[in-house]
């Protein structure tokens, strides 16, 4: 059985490395993608890595992950805060769901502290920088093993 893993990224993450480097660092989303695909391959996941600035596109991809019986790592970015349609889509996922945030959202201003998506996540990783994605892949590996 091939294990599938979707890593989905929300709004403005295509600007990593340029956008607020004092918060997000200098690592680009392309760098993160390369590191994630390498680790996923090592752990024998068939991995899909995507980014969108469109909420409807993100929902379509989450539904696709559901239909593929895939685990999900999601950095919903701005779609984290009050986005019920994204939450409803994430609730479909039967495999592990790990929510990732590059910054520690709990140390940020109030509008960034409460991710709606967290209630549907199996685990949440925040504040570990770009490395949070790799931690999330390792968490999916561990959590998937517990589900089997």
- Among 6, 101, 106, 112, the one annotated catalytic: 101
Report the relative pairing of strands 71-77 and 45-51 from DSSP bridges: unpaired
CB under 8 Å to 5, separation ≥6 — which residues?
Answer: 40, 45, 46, 47, 48, 70, 71, 72, 73, 137, 140
Look up 24 and say whether it is catalytic.
yes
The DSSP result for 61-124, as a single string, is: HHHHHHHTT-EEEEEEEGGGSS-HHHHHHHTT--S-EEEEESS-GGGS-GGGS--GGGGG-SEE
Numbers of helices and strands, H then E, in the chain? 5, 5
Look up 101 and say whether it is catalytic.
yes
Q: Any idea which residues carry the catalytic annotation?
A: 24, 101
């Amino acid at each position: 059985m091939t294990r599938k893993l979707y890593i989905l990224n929300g709004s403005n993450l295509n600007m990593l490395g340029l956008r607020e480097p004092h918060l997000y660092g200098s690592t680009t989303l392309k760098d993160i993608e390369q590191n994630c695909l390498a680790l996923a391959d090592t752990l024998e996941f068939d991995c899909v890595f995507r980014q969108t600035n469109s909420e409807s596109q993100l929902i379509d991809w989450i539904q696709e992950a559901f239909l593929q019986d895939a685990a999900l790592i999601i950095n919903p970015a701005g779609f984290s805060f009050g986005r019920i349609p994204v939450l409803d889509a994430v609730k479909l996922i039967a495999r592990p769901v790990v929510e990732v945030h590059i910054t520690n959202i709990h140390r940020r201003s109030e509008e960034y502290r409460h991710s709606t998506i967290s209630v549907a996540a199996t685990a949440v990783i925040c504040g570990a920088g770009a490395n949070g994605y790799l931690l999330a892949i390792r968490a999916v590996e561990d959590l998937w093993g517990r589900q089997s």
